[in-house]
Structure 1
Amino acid sequence: MDYRYGNHTVFNIEYHFVWVNKYRCKALHGDIALRVRELVRQTFELFGIRITKGVVSKDHVHIFVSAPPTLAPSEIRRRIKGRSATKLFEEFPHLKKRY
């Protein structure tokens, strides 16, 4: 096991997140998939969350992460989905028309 250390804590908390596009449309391909991967990495690095494994498929995203005990799973999910969706809609306007 790979334990992580805080100031007064030792922890190994891991979460498996899966989320899908609206209507499971196969929209995550090419530049969009690369950008999703980059946004997820940036967001998790910003909040001190370590990605153990992750896959961006055409219609869904799987991520297995190790997070500090101060972040609830719902908070992690909210931050990653909200930030990535906002940036993707700004950078790829044709996605906003469809979704």
Structure 2
Amino acid sequence: MIQKKYISKNHSKFLIKYHIIFVCKYRKRILTGDIETSMKQILLNIAELSDFNIEVMESDKDHIHMMTRSQPKLSPLPRIFHPLN
């Protein structure tokens, strides 16, 4: 279920959500069975180690959709692609 409550810190209140889509190269239909389960588990493990939460995650045969929630200090872009680096 998607959480709609704001997160409060000492001097801020925020609600930041990202809709992230991971697509297989050339839209190959390989996300089935064990591969789909493994990918979802890997993404959940990354979320546990990082400072963001996956609220909803669904997959099709060629892509995975995620609705994530994070704090304003995180960027959805990888560091190598971040325009400020």
TM-score (norm 1): 0.69
TM-score (norm 2): 0.79
Aligned residues: 77
Instruction: Give the distance between the partners of 2:33 and 2:9, measured in 1 at CA.
Output: 38
Structure holding more strand per residue = 2
Secondary structure at the aligned position of 2:39 is classed as: helix
Partner of 2:74: 71
Structure 2 unpaired stretches of 5+: none
Structure holding more helix per residue = 1
Instruction: Give the distance between the partners of 2:51 and 2:37, measured in 1 at CA.
Output: 21
Q: CA RMSD in A?
A: 1.9
Greater RCO (CA < 8 Å, at least 6 residues apart):
2
Aligned identity (percent) is 32
Deviations 1:64-89 (A, max 9, x none): 1101111111139x8xxxxxxxxxxx
